[in-house]
Chains A and B, each alone.
Chain A
Amino acid sequence: MSRALALVLLGITSTAQAQGRWNVSFGAGGAQEIARSRIGTTRERVSGLVFGGEGVATRGRLLARVRYGQGRVTNDTAGRDVAEGEALLGYKARPWLTVWFGPHARTFVVSGQSDRRWLFWSGRVTARGTLFPGRVETFVELWQGVTGSLSRPAESATGGGAEAGLDLRLARHPIWGRVAYRVEQGRSSGAGRRETVEALTLTVGYTPPR
């Protein structure tokens, strides 16, 4: 796995060198998240706000994206902290189509217990459509975990997810915004744990002028 990743990174780096300088973009936002857990017949639903940030670097057809967010989700009887993030490398196969690969993780922290972390190496596809050229775009992103693991109990896991929404850019301004809906689900192999997370996200970003 690591050898293959190194080869991919080497290829990406050499391609990137041939395609000029990197362009970066930053964003920060919040999400109203709903997490549902199910183990057998036991169900739990928690919700709350998660705040985070993201950075996207672009060089020619190559992209790198990092996202991180943390917050707290609760219900009437329980609560837990949540931290989630991803680090992806992407390739723009077509102007409207990007493929991604990289790790994606979410950790729930409950006091007095060890963290429960879902980790997936995922492959993704993002398709974009233009509503107003240079101003408004829609996007749909689908991902599927290639390998995955759950830390507590230590088990292998499978999972997948999707995100869709709207990107807006202000005319003659480097500010952009995004409203999106995200849904993900992880399944552990052993105890039959299933955890589904839905989120409505609102992100505001900045792309420095070239």
Chain B
Amino acid sequence: MDPHRPETRRRMTRTSALLAALWLCALWLPRAATAQSAVAVLAQGTRAYDDLELDNAAGLLRRALAFQGSDALAPADAARALMYLAATELLRDHADTARAVARRLVLANPRFRPDELVFPPQVLTFYEATRRATPAVIGRAPADTAIRPGVEALTVRLYASTFHDVTAALATEDGRVVRTLYSGPIGDSLDLHWNGLDSSGTAPLPNGRYAITVTSLDRQRRVARILRLPLEVTQGRVDTLPHPAPPADSLLLHERQPMGPGLRALAPAALTGVAIAVLPSVVANGEDASGARFVVGGTVTVAGIVAFFSHHPGRSIPANVTHNRALRDAWRREDAEVARRNAERARGMVGIRTGAPVLLTPEAP
């Protein structure tokens, strides 16, 4: 095979392109297959449940829930898988397992409600009983905000799985309670407010890491769950207004008379003076020119010098100085105003950054 032949070259190029395409497919396919399989396994699991192939359904649903990381099911699909798994286990007469799965679902998403058209009444009743027996809350708060302590407040919205009592407190990282925010019952949802002040209610909280802990209590007033929402508090952290740019050079006028106009007046006079001095030797070479020409040359030169100084080079221009001063003063005033407003905005402001909530359960699910 002669590699220099055009046909051979074409064939080699085609083969290389095919190999490259295959290699790309080999790289891409496993990811696609994995991503499909979590959802596909869930679909197979729900189909098996519908066909009452309960053992098969339980296995498939557990497989679907076992995917981790980027291959894991989305929260909505995971909730759906848990619900189907709880129903499957209940129908398999594994009530304890079904309760554990249902409780896991309640803790992950207290607001989840099973579809009444999909699941039979006994499953719905079972899930409802589990939900009522599993007091838990989840919280939603702005990820990054700033408040004026004592005037404004950070709001954390709590959603409950069931009606129960909660206590909410702001605590330091090591668990010391700084302020109790709420203590009482929660129904469907509740807004917690923290006004940024410490336990005395007068001073803003020092910089540091804190957490809002919401403790869910069961009917016996025992701790059932603890929601921990990390907070990072920073004093005076606030977005500031940008300072104005100083006046551009193009807006400023010359404060002193430039040399240019004076030199432009002096130059022709100097040239003429020189011309008068040298012209006789150019025009009438060999003749002794009279010295009288220097009278004219001197007159012209003196006139040029007078003209030069009449432009007052380097002298201050009061009108331009006033104009520039007005521009600079306006800029300084604006700059000072921005600085004042920034200081005012920053005074007493507290920046609050919230982290991902963590749910702690003292007892095993």
Interface residues of A, Cβ cutoff 8 Å to B: 32, 34, 36, 128-132, 136-140, 160-162, 164-166, 179-181, 183-185, 196, 198, 200
Contact = CB atoms under 8 A, between A and B. Distances in A.
A174 to B, nearest CB: 21
Contacts of B280: 183, 198
Interface in B252-310: 264-265, 267-269, 271-272, 275-276, 279-280, 282-284, 287, 289-290, 292-293, 295-297, 299-300, 303-304, 306-307, 310
A131 B269 contact: yes
Contact of A200 (B269, B293, B304): B293
Most buried by B among A128, A161, A164: A164
Most buried by A among B276, B295, B299, B300: B300
A131 B299 CA distance: 13
A104 to B, nearest CB: 14
A130 B279 contact: no
Most buried by A among B268, B283, B297: B283
Main secondary structure on chain B at its contact with chain A? helix
Given A131-B306, A180-B296, A184-B283, 5 more contacts: A32-B292, A131-B303, A131-B307, A138-B303, A164-B296
B276 A136 contact: no
Contact of B275 (A136, A164, A179, A196): A164
Contacts, number: 90
B265 A165 contact: no
Given A162-B282, A183-B284, A200-B295, A140 B289 contact: no
A35 B97 CA distance: 136
A200 B272 CA distance: 15
Nearest to B308: A131
Contacts of B297: 164, 181
Nearest to A165: B296
A140 B275 contact: yes
Contacts of B282: 162
24 contacts: A32-B292, A34-B290, A36-B287, A129-B269, A129-B272, A131-B265, A131-B304, A131-B307, A132-B307, A137-B268, A138-B271, A138-B303, A161-B283, A164-B272, A164-B279, A180-B296, A181-B279, A181-B297, A183-B279, A183-B293, A185-B284, A198-B280, A200-B292, A200-B295
